[in-house]
Amino acid sequence: MSIKYSLIPNHLSADPDDYMAIVQDQPVRTIEDVINEIVDRGSTITKPDILSVVEEYQAVIAKFLRSGDRLNTPLFKTKASIKGVFGNQTDRFDRSRHYIRLNVSPGSRIGEIADALSVEKVSATKARPVLELFKDFATDTQNETVTPGSGAEIRGSHLKVDPEDPDQGIFFIAFDGSETKVDMIMRNMPANLIFMIPDGLASGEYDVEVRALLQGHTNMRSGRLNEALMVP
């Protein structure tokens, strides 16, 4: 199968003729799908046994990461980095100003797959919000940090929402799937949204998603930023 993509104007480029690629209709697979596929391939191992092994595998990986170790596997590699500004040479790590990011990159096996993937240019199947950039005003960073209680901006296209509709808006989605909706939007335009980040976001990684009922459509559309964002 090919990776299907369409092109949209790149509003962040200085050249008005520049376009950017947006992947279209990519199926989402879960660990449940992986386990079912193993069973369907005729494995002699039972599904409960597979579930047990996968859980142990994940638990050991989590243990190594909590110990501060780097991982280098055929599927992925990890490396920690420390973000935030240090005032001088004697300054120390402070979780109110700094945070640790676990960076994940493809391992050799995934890298080989990525190099061999084919692509197919298609027409956009449906209009939807496109999030190109997230700017955190408190840290002046882009597509990186979320500061609860601070102002932020999203740039892109098809972003305007109806603030009176509880199903529309800006949502921060945590790793566990819990969602927090933005209450205050100060600028609500198709090309950019300026808003206050919810004050109660816990530390961790978040996806940011915009949901909107676009003009001329009857179904809700949604779009996410490609990068995960970090609350220190």
Residue 39 has pLDDT above 80, yes or no: yes
pLDDT for 114 equals: 86
3-class SS of residue 37 = helix
pLDDT for 124 equals: 65
Residues 183-200 have a mean pLDDT of 95
Question: 101: pLDDT confidence band, cut at 50, 70 and 90?
Answer: confident
Task: Tell me the one-letter amino acid at 220.
Answer: M
Cβ burial, residue 152 (10 Å; 0-12/13-18/19+): buried
Cβ burial 114-131 (10 Å sphere, 16+ → b, else e)? eeeeeeeeeeeeebbbbb
* Cβ proximity of 100 and 80 under 8 Å: yes
Residue 85 has pLDDT above 90, yes or no: no
145: DSSP letter: B
Contacts of 105 (CB under 8 A, 6+ apart): 76, 77, 78, 79
Q: What's the pLDDT tens digit per position in 124-183? A: 666 789 898 999 999 999 999 999 999 999 999 889 999 899 999 999 999 888 999 999
**What architecture is domain 130-231?**
Distorted Sandwich (2.70)
Cα separations (Å) of 4 from 15, 20, 26, 130? 25, 13, 8, 16
Nearest C-alpha neighbor of 159 from the set 114, 214, 118, 231:
214
Least confident of 39-53, 115-129, 186-200: 115-129
pLDDT for 95 equals: 86
Task: Tell me the one-letter amino acid at 156.
Answer: G
The more confident residue out of 216 and 34 is 34
